[in-house]
Structure 1
Amino acid sequence: MRMTPHSGAVPDEETFAVLKAALAAGVNVWGGADFYGTSERSSLHLLARYFTQYPEDADKVVICIKSGIVDMRTLNMDGSPDGIRRMLANANSTLGGRKKIDVFGIARVDPKTPIEESVRALAELKAAGEIGGILLSEVGANTIRRAASVAQIDMVEQEVSLWATGIFENGVATTCGELGIPIVAHTPIGAGMLTGRIKSIDDLPHGSYLRMFPRFQPENFQKNLALVSEIEKLAKAKGVSPAQLALSWLKLQSKKPGMPLIIPIAGASSEARVKENAAIIDLSDDDLKAITGTLESFPVAGDRYPAAAMKLVGV
């Protein structure tokens, strides 16, 4: 998402180096969207350019593409069968045959379209070979079950981190575990908050969308900074970075009984950050107990999104 910002293009030589480093580190699940960036320069355009230069990498990567948002300003969705077919056609046209979309779906449930209708259209596209699998994003447990009654769901994308543990409490994780659906965990280091490098609102880029999010508002920020401070202490005692601790904790959730495979997709802006995030860190039972105690003592303050966006989450 941050490789194709609306505010300006990141040079291909920079993004390509990060993507190459990701593959070299075994990070081969990449998430994008047709609304990440402008209509002329989105995730799909970036991938098209990358696979034009490195066609040998196309079969090494699983790309997960979200669509369905008509207008980001109003959060107007289109999950209708016609809308899904049109948006996929546009996505495939942009990729130009350089790479098949491995997993595709709508970014949120369209309030105007029953999830069964959306999934039925995606299943037809999968059967036709136009996509490899069906993706749901930011959905509730009941919606997952309704969708799975129509067709196999191949992936569910949710925000999951030490900063966002909701799926372990609202039935989403257990439902995906029961149905054998992998979860792609977006924002696994809290949009950078869990790195420990954000100490004040001023550390966020000017104009950053995060400045509008409840967790970064003054009444919540200092409370959440206290959680990060405790995570930093645990990481320092372990001799790792806070991000490595957070990502390792997340990966270990997959090993708990009844849990699905959880795949974190951490954003990175440099080769060094990719290598840091991909490092394998062993956490002991004592480490996990300390992390659990920290989460209980320092609960996150504020919703994940502004009120309008929260209406489309977890339905």
Structure 2
Amino acid sequence: MGNIKEVKLGSQGLVVPALGLGCMGMTTGFGGDIYGKADEKEAIATIRRSLELGGTFLDTADIYGPFLNERLISKAIQGEREKCIIASKFGYEIDDNGQGLWSINGSKSYVKKAVERSLKNLGTDYIDLYYLHRLDTNTPIEETVEAMGELVKEGKVKYIGLSEVSSETIRKAHQIHPLTAVQSEYSLFERQIEELGILDTLKELGIGLVAYSPVGRGFLNGKIQKPEDLSENDVKKIIPKYQGEQFYKNVALVNEIKKVAEEKNITSAQLAIAWVIAKGHTPIPGTKRVKYVEENIAAAGISLTQEDLNRLEKIVPLGNITGDRYEEGLMKGVNL
């Protein structure tokens, strides 16, 4: 077992490693191949290496694939289920053939259907942390969360959470059944939830933040200096944050962050992850390679001073426009 520090995620009793492993890019289909080709053998080796190092908090969703990602995790953790903390998400409606219908369904009946399918695909009889992936604007959040709370009573789910929702939604949901975590994009390059006061709401209610894309979808690793550095199917090509003039503005910011990292003899990706941890949140950087999972987990041991944080936040201050994080159609699913 690795010696990665553990933290309380929220105030409902869940304890997790200081950072998790985002598994989305490990399979093909939806969510896969968007940062380069996925390779099952390498992905399984990455998950197993993560477990060895104490990186036992694994993040997936039924829509990744669909279904393929949960099945991959099931294969990778055989015989080690008890040491793992599995987080999965539901909400994007998928039929039993794995066809995404691209509407969000938070109805009580769909909650029950989705969890049974995820349990089967994960090869387990419980999910540690179960999130609604996106808000269903046609179903009251109270109905969805009540159904999720029933899963907790039945022992199928231990803790529940939401993803990409507003303070108002969080408050309504938390009254029905206590939320353990909210998942949202958060990094040095994406602090909208801080600007909107969502982080303050989470702190007030004792709910943890699980930060996806803490390395700005890989952009904060500092290796991307020109558009040609993006691989052919890299998702960043269709994200406004990484297009046109904004691309070069953001490269300039990354290069300033890189200078701070070099002074500390760490990578800028490690610095970006350490920043999220120092802010009191749980990042889930995604990778599908052993080398990078080792590097990411090492970031959990990096201590940053208040002076370090101030310096980084001076480079990218709150309100600094780094660009939209999704193209327009997908931004509609973010209900902040």
TM-score w.r.t. the length of structure 2 is 0.84
Query: Structure 2 counterpart of 1:269, which letter?
Result: K
Aligned equivalent of 1:207, options 233, 255, 271? 233
How many Å apart are 1:73 and its aligned residue?
7.7
Question: Partner of 1:133: helix, strand, or coil?
Answer: strand
Query: Structure 2 counterpart of 1:182, which letter?
Result: G
Q: Map Cα deviations across residues 211-240 of structure 1 (whole Å, 9 max, x no partner).
A: 111111113111111111111111112211
2:292 aligned with 1:284: no
User: Who is 2:11 aligned against?
Assistant: none
Q: Map Cα deviations across residues 43-92 of structure 1 (whole Å, 9 max, x no partner).
A: 111122123xx31x211111110111127987411111111111111111
User: Who is 1:257 aligned against?
Assistant: none
Partners of 1:20 and 1:217 in 2: CA distance: 36
RMSD: 2.0
Partners of 2:296 and 2:85 in 1: CA distance: 18
Partners of 1:228 and 1:297 in 2: CA distance: 15
User: Who is 1:218 aligned against?
Assistant: 244
User: Who is 2:326 aligned against?
Assistant: 305
- The sequence identity of aligned pairs, in percent, is 34
How many Å apart are 1:34 and its aligned residue?
0.9
Question: Partner of 1:296: helix, strand, or coil?
Answer: coil
Structure 1's 158 and 15: CA in aligned 2 closer, same or farther, altered over 3 A? same
Partners of 1:284 and 1:102 in 2: CA distance: 33
User: Who is 1:19 aligned against?
Assistant: 47
User: Who is 1:144 aligned against?
Assistant: 170
Kept in 2: contact 1:223–1:300 (CA 8 A): no
User: Who is 1:4 aligned against?
Assistant: 27
Aligned length: 302
User: Who is 2:93 aligned against?
Assistant: 70
Kept in 2: contact 1:186–1:266 (CA 8 A): yes
Higher RCO (Cα < 8 Å, 6 or more apart): 2
Query: Structure 2 counterpart of 1:294, which letter?
Result: I
Question: Partner of 1:105: helix, strand, or coil?
Answer: strand
Partners of 1:38 and 1:74 in 2: CA distance: 11
How many Å apart are 1:95 and its aligned residue?
2.5
Partners of 2:244 and 2:38 in 1: CA distance: 30
Q: Which runs of 5+ in 1 are unaligned?
A: 255-261
Kept in 2: contact 1:215–1:301 (CA 8 A): yes
User: Who is 1:275 aligned against?
Assistant: 294
Q: Map Cα deviations across residues 121-168 of structure 1 (whole Å, 9 max, x no partner).
A: 101111111111112001111110010011111211111110111222
Question: Partner of 2:292: helix, strand, or coil?
Answer: helix
How many Å apart are 1:294 and its aligned residue?
0.5
Structure 1's 61 and 96: CA in aligned 2 closer, same or farther, altered over 3 A? closer
Kept in 2: contact 1:68–1:106 (CA 8 A): yes
- Larger displacement relative to structure 2 (292-301 or 161-170): 292-301
2:149 aligned with 1:123: yes
